[in-house]
Amino acid sequence: MVRPHCPRRVNGDPRANRFKPAGIPSGQLEEVRLTLDEFEALRLCDLEGLYLEDAAKQMEVSRPTVSRVLESARKKVADVLVNGKALRIEGGVIMPQGNREFECSECGHKWEKGFGGGRPQKCPECEGRTIHRCDCHRADGGGHGHGHRHGAGEGQGRGTCRRSRARE
C-alpha cells in the first residue's frame, strides 16, 4: 500500500500556470502537469539557490522528499523543453504559506488566521456566524480558501471579497 503524501508548504501560486511553444495551437500539443510542490522545489533550489536541507525546512518535509520532488520537476521541465510540449502548473498535496483574512458580515470585524487551522466557526469579536474570506488585501486578488489542496485545478478555491464585488 502506498503511503499518503504529507502536505508540502508552498509560498503562493506561480504568476502564470501554463506555458506552451509559440505558434503551435494548444490542441496539437501534449501537456505535462507540474504540481505546485514541484514548482516550489524548483523555485527554492534552482532559482533561489537554497540547499536541499534549507528547502526542506521551508516546505516542511524531509530532505529526501525535496530531492525526489525536485528530480521529478526537472525531468518534466526537460521533457517540455526538449520535446516541445505544453506545461501546466497545478495541483499537488500542498499547504499554502501565510495567513487568510476573514471578515464578519454581522459586525465588520476583520482578522487573520494561518492556513491549516480550518475555517473559523464564529467571529472572535461578536461571535457572529456569518463569516467569509476576504483576500482583497492581497496583490494577486485571490487565494486558496482551504488548507491543503488535493489536485485542485485552475480557478478552484479562489474567491473574492464581498466588498470588492460591491464596488464593481
The reported pLDDT for the residue numbered 14 is 77
The reported pLDDT for the residue numbered 132 is 78
Coil, strand or helix: which one is 72?
helix
Look up residue 41 and give its three cell numbers. Answer: 522545489
The reported pLDDT for the residue numbered 167 is 36
The reported pLDDT for the residue numbered 146 is 35
The reported pLDDT for the residue numbered 96 is 58
Query: Residues 6 or more apart from 134 whose CB is under 8 A from it?
Result: 101, 102, 103, 110, 161, 162, 163
Which residue in this structure is represented by grid cell 503562493? 12
The reported pLDDT for the residue numbered 15 is 80
The reported pLDDT for the residue numbered 150 is 35
List, in sequence order, every beta strand (DSSP E) within 36-162: 86-89, 93-96, 99-104, 110-114, 131-133, 149-150
The reported pLDDT for the residue numbered 131 is 81
Predicted model pTM: 0.55
Coil, strand or helix: which one is 95?
strand
Beta sheet of 99-104, edge-to-edge order: 110-114, 99-104, 131-133
The reported pLDDT for the residue numbered 99 is 63
Where do the domains of the chain lie, and which CATH numbers do they carry?
8-94 (1.10.10), 98-168 (2.20.28.10)
d(CA 93, CA 80): 22
Could you read off the pLDDT tens digit of each residue along the chain, which spans 168 residues?
A: 665 566 666 676 678 889 999 999 989 999 999 988 899 999 999 999 999 999 999 888 899 999 999 999 999 999 999 999 999 988 665 555 556 677 888 898 887 776 555 677 888 889 888 887 775 433 333 443 333 333 333 333 333 333 333 333
- Helical pair 63-83 and 52-59, crossing angle rounded to 10 deg: 100
Q: Are strands 131-133 and 99-104 parallel, antiparallel or unpaired?
A: antiparallel
